[in-house]
Amino acid sequence: MRARRGGFTLIEVIVVTVIAASLATVLIVRLGGTRDRSFNLLRDRVGDLLLTYAMRAEFADTPIGIGLEPDRRRLLLVRRVEIDGRPAWIADRAVTPIVLPDWVELQNLDFWADGERVDPTYRPLTALPGQTRPRIEVGLRAETDSTWREVHFTLPPQALRPLMQDDHLPETYAVEREPIDLDASGHWQEDW
Q: Domain segments of the chain: what residues? A: 36-178
**pTM, two decimal places:** 0.73
Q: What is the mean pLDDT of the chain?
A: 84
Class of domain 36-178: alpha beta
For residue 131, what are the CA distances in angstroms to 58, 64, 127, 157, 175? 9, 12, 7, 10, 22
pLDDT (tens digit per residue) in 3-59: 666 677 888 888 888 888 888 777 765 665 688 888 889 999 999 999 999 998 888
For residue 37, what are the CA distances in angstroms to 24, 42, 43, 145, 165? 20, 9, 10, 9, 17
Interval 50-72 mean pLDDT: 91
Quote the CA–CA distance of 164 and 154 in Å, as a whole number. 7
Lowest-confidence segment of 27-36, 95-104, 120-129 by average pLDDT: 27-36
33 vs 94, more confident:
94
Residue 40 sits at the vertex; the CA angle it makes with 32 and 97, to the nearest 5 degrees, is: 120
